Amino acid sequence: MIINFLTRYKTWFSIIPATHLLSLVISCSLLETEPEIYIPDSIIPADSVIAISDVNVIPIGDKGIMTHRTVILSDGKIQGIHDVNEAVIPDSAIIIDGSGKYLMPGLLDMHVHMHAEDLEEYLSSGITTVRNMWGTPDVKKLAHSIDVDSLTGPEIYSASPGIDGDPPTWGYTQVIEDPAEASKLVKRLKSEGWRFLKVYNRLQPDVYKAVSHAAKSENIKLIGHTPWALTIEDVLNAEQASVEHFTGFDRYLGGSQSYQAWISIDQTKIPSIAKRTANSETWICPTLVVLEALSVKNLVESEVYQVQQNLFKLLKSLYDERVKLLIGTDSGIQLTSPGISIHNELKKFVQAGIPPSEVLQIATLGGAQFLQIDDQVGTVSVGKQADLLLLNANPLRNIENTTQIESVIVNGALYPTEYFTRE
């Protein structure tokens, strides 16, 4: 502005004293005030325009880091990602200083058991979407309240109550022992609005087969355990959408159906089952943190270590074969802590030999792809929903930096760390 002003009136400036000219230039420069940087200590609502200035963007994928970007958020979406020197920030924007910080997508915890009292724990840990693994009336009410903005929390995609044989293990179990009842059960659960059908331990092979066939007919995915009467090959052949906790792998490699199987496994069988899994459409959600919790609770230290190393060997082999993996914690059943446990799961994936960039992709875009919402979340891209984390350190350098959260942005509303740590 000053240069254009001086050029336009250069003839006039040539006849005034230099000291007066200097005073005029200083006065003009004061007109060019820098935009005010806002330091949030309370919620910035979703109907605001937010500009995160000069931030390092981790878009997810093979793009690396986009440095010195200004990201514009409004109407709950990412409206623009610009070079900091070229960004045009709307006058109405609240400007957040992103210099030295890192912006990445919100995390997806793909195996939880949701309770209303845990909503803030998930959000404060950077989790903006969850897959709930056992449907209950309370979870359905919770998901609806979040959808209509009467509650703040991560988006909930819920499985049905577990489908199992007698005797039931958990409340709301859908007991079925007659294959002829499978079609009726599946149609009813789908009509109730559940996103997936969860299969559980005591299903018999003929019933499992009937439920699987009915689910395909109704175009709804089966997820859950490998039932005790079936093998991991059986559920892979049935095209079960996801297998949790490495169930079925434990019997294939270790001979029993529990965390204890991992104390001693036949490592020579890992390559074959990894290849077989890669040739299926099944996703694997290991939930290493809950297997560790069970081991620590019940085994001696040397056995805990052996369990961990064997789990790592299988996970790395699955990764090397490009098996589709998910990050989940099994939080909500009093074994792992809601929210914060996801950071321990990320760390374990890295300890198994998976690069941090790939682990972050599994925890964001991977979960979104499974849920078939990758057109909405999972990357930092223009047009996507503004579910984001602003971090104070680079998680690609050290995966533990995912805990260095400055702010969580969910559906366009910004929650600073101070909001979650208030008394």
So what's the pLDDT on residue 8?
32
What's the mean pLDDT when you consider all of the chain? 92
User: Mind listing the pLDDT tens digit for each residue in 116-141?
Assistant: 999 999 999 999 999 999 999 999 99
* Percent with pLDDT over 90 in the chain: 86
**SS (HEC) of the chain:** CHHHHHHHCHHHHCCCCHHHHHHHHHHHHHHCCCCCECCCCCCECCCCCEEEEEEEECCCCCCCCEEEEEEEEECCEEEEEEECCCCCCCCCCEEEECCCCEEEECEEEEEECCCHHHHHHHHHCCEEEEEECCCCHHHHHHHHHHHCCCCCCCEEEEECCCEECCCCCCCCCEECCCHHHHHHHHHHHHHCCCCEEEECCCCCHHHHHHHHHHHHHHCCEEEECCCCCCCHHHHHHCCCCEEECCCCHHHHHHCCCCHHHHHCCCHHHHHHHHHHHHCCCCEEECCHHHHHHHHHHHCCHHHHHHHHHHHHHHHHHHHHCCCCECCCCCECCCCCCCCCHHHHHHHHHHHCCCCHHHHHHHHHHHHHHHHCCCCCCCCCCCCCECCEEEECCCCCCCHHHHHCEEEEEECCEEEEHHHHCCC
Q: How far is Cα 130 from Cα 192, in angstroms, rounded to an integer?
A: 19
Give the CA-trace dihedral at 383, 387, 390, 394, to 10 degrees: -80
- CA proximity to 134, closest of 350, 332, 293: 332
Q: Which CATH fold topology does 105-371 show?
A: TIM Barrel (3.20.20)
Mean pLDDT score, 267-292: 98
So what's the pLDDT on residue 72?
98
So what's the pLDDT on residue 19?
41
pLDDT band at 34 (very low <50, low <70, confident <90, very high): low
User: Mind listing the pLDDT tens digit for each residue in 72-122?
Assistant: 999 999 999 999 999 999 999 999 999 999 999 999 999 999 999 999 999
pLDDT band at 64 (very low <50, low <70, confident <90, very high): confident
Sheet holding 283-285, edge to edge: 174-175, 163-164, 196-199, 221-224, 242-244, 283-285
Handedness of CA 172, 160, 225, 364 (dihedral sign): negative
Domain coordinates of the chain in residue numbers? Answer: 2-31, 105-371
Mean pLDDT score, 265-270: 98
So what's the pLDDT on residue 330?
98
So what's the pLDDT on residue 423?
55
Q: Does the structure show a pLDDT above 70 at 170?
A: yes
* Percent with pLDDT over 70 in the chain: 91
Mean pLDDT score, 266-279: 98
Q: Does the structure show a pLDDT above 90 at 248?
A: yes
User: Mind listing the pLDDT tens digit for each residue in 314-369?
Assistant: 999 999 999 999 999 999 999 999 999 999 999 999 999 999 999 999 999 999 99
User: Mind listing the pLDDT tens digit for each residue in 384-403?
Assistant: 999 999 999 999 999 999 99
Q: Which residue has the tokens 């878009």?
A: 59
So what's the pLDDT on residue 36?
72
User: Mind listing the pLDDT tens digit for each residue in 294-313?
Assistant: 999 999 999 999 999 999 99
Q: Does the structure show a pLDDT above 60 at 146?
A: yes
- CA proximity to 82, closest of 53, 60, 104: 53
Residues 190, 220 contacting (CB under 8 angstroms): yes
Handedness of CA 127, 129, 135, 138 (dihedral sign): positive
User: Mind listing the pLDDT tens digit for each residue in 197-227?
Assistant: 999 999 999 999 999 999 999 999 999 999 9
Q: Does the structure show a pLDDT above 70 at 32?
A: no
Q: Does the structure show a pLDDT above 80 at 382?
A: yes
So what's the pLDDT on residue 56?
98
Q: Does the structure show a pLDDT above 90 at 239?
A: yes
Long-range contacts of range 295-304, CB-CB < 8 Å, 24 or more positions apart?
Answer: 295/259, 295/262, 298/259, 298/260, 299/259, 299/260, 299/263, 303/263
Q: Does the structure show a pLDDT above 70 at 21?
A: no
